[in-house]
Structure 1
Amino acid sequence: MYPVLLICVYLNLFYGSTKSDENNCGLSRQVLKHAFVSMNIKKSGFHRELVTTVEFSPEAPNRLRILLSYRFPSGLYIDPYQLAPQKEDQDVQVLLNSAIDVETPAHMSAGFTALVYMSLVGKKLKFPILIHGRYHKPSLTEENFQFVQIELPKLMFKADNCIPVHLLPPHNIVDAPCTAVNISMCQWLNIQNLQEHRHVTLEMPLGDESVVNSVCAGTLLVTLLCCVVLSRRILKNGQC
């Protein structure tokens, strides 16, 4: 009788834990505690590359969908035509919450949100985004640069039908589009308190408004001189 009882207890524990793993999508306090997001900037000037690195603990499952939610300030823009994955086998989708006008200056623009969807492959992800600085209002002071901050993106896991969503404070559930092409809403588990430093800072060069009048006058003078020279050359050669 005892061997039969032990077998029943073992089967119950085995299948119960398997069912729990299926229901919780492989999420655990250990996995979420060691999730880490960082950003760094490459290149210089108005055209930069923002590289986001997402790292997970060895216990992290390999079957979760990842969502990074960026909030970009008005001083930057992303060219939608440059959002294709860097590798052909990279499963990445990007959804912007508004149309992007690449010509509008910073003081006439609004911030925007970019949702980046990707699959967890291995325990470390790196995703580059080409970002561009907008032209800012010329400075009336001696300031030569405008500082633009990019906040750390929110890291979210696909959380539908996952049990731990109410067992893992301070993490919470948020609604976001399911994919970049299917904008119906799904539940995602938002991972909070990823690291201490929550932004990177860029320096955007500024013009000097005190020289606007002299620059305009010089430009007009050079334009008039060029028109006079060209007109005389045309009249002299009889090609008017």
Structure 2
Amino acid sequence: MAARAVARLLLWAAGLVGWLAADFSDVPNGAGIRATCSDIILRQEFLKDGFHRDLLIKVKFGESIEGLQTCRLLIKHYIPTGLYVDPYELASLREKNITEAVMVSESFNIEAPNYLSKESEVLIYARQDAQCIDCFQAFLPVHYRYHRPHRKDGHTLIVVNNPDLLMYCDEEFPVLKCWAQSEVAAPCALKSEDICQWNNMKYKSILKNLTLQVPVGLTIHTSLVCSVTLLITVLCSTLILVAVFKYGHFSL
């Protein structure tokens, strides 16, 4: 009797194992991985005050990924018409190894006001944060453009949308499939002509969008401003002519 009971118990255990194996075999590939995925957190903020700001972007992975040092992070940012990035300033900062950013837009005028400008595109190669193993950060200087004067309100708002977050790894990490949405072709590195297929990553942003408040002129002040400007221009021109005739040396 004891032998029969043990045999029945073994058969019941084998059937239970087979049922569990068949049940898990029906689960789609990667479902177990996706269940353990944490979020990528992106935060962007403006530093300094005034018309010349620094845009700081920080990215943090929600869980530690071994071998993350083999990955590169590329931030594709769209600068609204109310702001501009100076390509000559970027070139200087790249030489000083302060940032790795490059303009993508070709026809670009830094002197144009916002109503005559177009949205520009910038690629920023993020760097790993020395104080955080699972963190990246990027830096981009931006400047306000001139805006049309308003009738009543002396301010206007500029909305800076969240960027695209692209990632490329030399090794394959199954956990990265949790965040990858599509592939985007972009240069492998700042000074490289090779094109890599970057993964467009899904992330969570601390802020939905950044909003900047820019002071603008009032239309009721147009006559006053034009009159004062004309008066100062005439006065300065007169002083210059007086100085030229008084201290200048003329020869026929």
The normalised TM-score by structure 2 is 0.69
Contact 2:41–2:203 (8 Å) recurs in 1:
no
Matched, 1:131 2:142: yes
TM-aligned CA deviation for residue 236 of structure 1: 8.0
Residues 145/30 of structure 1: CA separation in 2 closer, same or farther (3 Å cut): farther
Q: CA RMSD in A?
A: 3.4
Deviates more, 1:120-129 or 1:71-80: 120-129
- Give 3-state SS (helix, strand or coil) of 1:171's partner: strand
Post-superposition offset of 1:68: 0.9
1:176 to 1:239, Cα distance in 2 relative to 1, 3 A: closer
Equivalent residue for 2:205? 195
Instruction: Number of aligned residue pairs: give it.
Output: 210
Residue 78 of structure 1 corresponds to which residue in structure 2? 85
Partners of 1:31 and 1:56 within 8 A in 2: no
Moved more, 130-139 or 148-157: 148-157
Q: Structure 1: where are the runs of 5+ without partners?
A: 1-27
Instruction: State the Cα deviation string for residues 20-54 of structure 1 (Å, max 9, x = none).
Output: xxxxxxxx658963321101112112111111111
Q: 1:230 to 1:57 in 2, by over 3 A?
A: closer
Equivalent residue for 2:42?
37
Map of 1:144 onto structure 2:
154
Larger radius of gyration: 2
**Contact persistence 1:159–1:165 (CA under 8 A):** no
Inter-CA distance 208–33: structure 2 relative to 1 (3 Å threshold): same
1:65/1:32 CA distance change after superposition, 3 Å: farther
SS at match of 2:205: coil
Q: Does 1:114 align with 2:128?
A: no
Relative to the length of structure 1, the TM-score reads: 0.72
Deviation larger for 99-108 or 34-43: 99-108
Unmatched runs of 5 consecutive residues or more in structure 2: 1-32
- Paired-residue identity, %: 28
Counterpart of 1:137 in structure 2: which amino acid?
Answer: R
Which region of structure 1 is more displaced relative to structure 2, 189-198 or 154-163?
154-163
- Tell me, in whole angstroms, the C-alpha distance in 2 between the residues paired with 1:113 and 1:232: 50
Counterpart in the other structure of 1:157: 167
Aligned partner of 1:11 in structure 2 is none
Equivalent position amino acid for 1:115 in 2 = L
SS in 2 for 1:81: helix
Deviation sequence 1:184-218 (CA, Å, 0-9, x none): 43211111142363311111111122322332123
1:106/1:135 contact within 8 Å kept: yes
1:207 paired to 2:217: yes
Aligned counterparts of 1:53 and 1:222: Cα–Cα separation in 2: 47
Distance 1:165 1:95, change over 3 A: farther
